[in-house]
Amino acid sequence: MATITAAQVKELREKTGAGMMDCKKALKECDADFEKAVKFLREKGMADAAKRSGRTTKEGLVYSYIHPGNRIGVLVEVNCETDFVARNEDFQAFVKDVAMHIAASSPKYLKRDEVPSAEIEAEREVLRNQAKESGKPEAVWDKIVDGRIDKYYSQVCLLEQPFIKEMNSSVEDYLKEIIGKIGENIQIRRFTRFQLGEELD
């Protein structure tokens, strides 16, 4: 068993935001392998998030963000379980990050089930025609379309978009990480994005 130093625990804590005892445990479980310990803590955070997902969220913040230049503005509501967490610095930083992400990435929907079925069917039709014209055998067309529909969701749904500060993770990954770190259920409830001069539907 490798020796775990205080410096290693501190470094892991700074990298992941997890508690000191959790960091120590992760390093022990992973035989002091730093990258494995990071992965261990992320997976633990996601498992904890899944357990908490059914708990009621009636507190939180409504936050407004105006992008420099005053041409893009975002209003977002993020809920948590207690007003104590609503005042927590990590929670507030998460809300601000989400607002900035919305300003930069312009999602249309929060999650998949909000995307109108007519929009998905229209997209499928376009993608199927592209698959036909690609010269690939008909047997693989549906697989190609399904893969591209998943990509479409990751472009238009906030939770599935790659997070602007960590492109290897989605916004949902970041949400689960913050739930694991704070220990409460947290939900991004709704958002609105305004861009100067955009056409009104």
- Produce one character per residue of 99-124: b if its CB has 16 or more CB atoms within 10 Å, e if not: bbbbbebbbebbeeeebeeeeeeebb
Alpha carbon of 74 to those of 69, 96, 98, 184: distances in Å?
13, 10, 10, 25
The partner residues of 54 in beta bridges, in order of sequence, read none
Q: How many CA atoms within 13 Å lie on the side-chain side of 116?
A: 4
CB 34 within 8 A of CB 11: yes
Number of domains making up the chain: 3
Q: Among 34, 52, 70, where does a domain finish?
A: 52
pLDDT value, residue 17: 62
Question: Which tokens is 158 given?
Answer: 């906030």
pLDDT at 41: 76
Q: What is the pLDDT of residue 89?
A: 94
Residue 201 within a domain = no
**CATH (domain of 124):** 1.10.286
Q: Which residues pair with 77 in a beta bridge?
A: 62, 190
Contact 175, 49 (CB under 8 A): yes
Residue type, 38: V
DSSP at 58: -
Which parts of the chain sit beneath pLDDT 50?
Answer: none
**In terms of domains, do 161 and 93 share one?**
yes
Which burial class, exposed, middle or buried, applies to 165 when counting CB atoms under 10 A from its CB (0-12, 13-18, 19+)?
exposed
Does residue 186 share a domain with residue 87?
yes
Host domain of residue 135: 116-155
- Do 163 and 104 have their domain in common? yes
Both 25 and 98 in one domain: the answer is no
Please indicate, yes or no, whether residues 163 and 151 belong to a single structural domain of this protein. Answer: no
φ, ψ (nearest 5 deg) of residue 62: -105, 120
CATH number at residue 43: 1.10.8.10
**How far is C-alpha 21 from the chain's CA centre?**
26
Specify the pTM: 0.69
Supply the DSSP symbol for 32.
T
Residues 163 and 160: their CA atoms lie apart, in Å, by 9
Asked if residue 1 belongs to a domain, the reply is: no
Do 103 and 188 lie in one domain? The reply is: yes
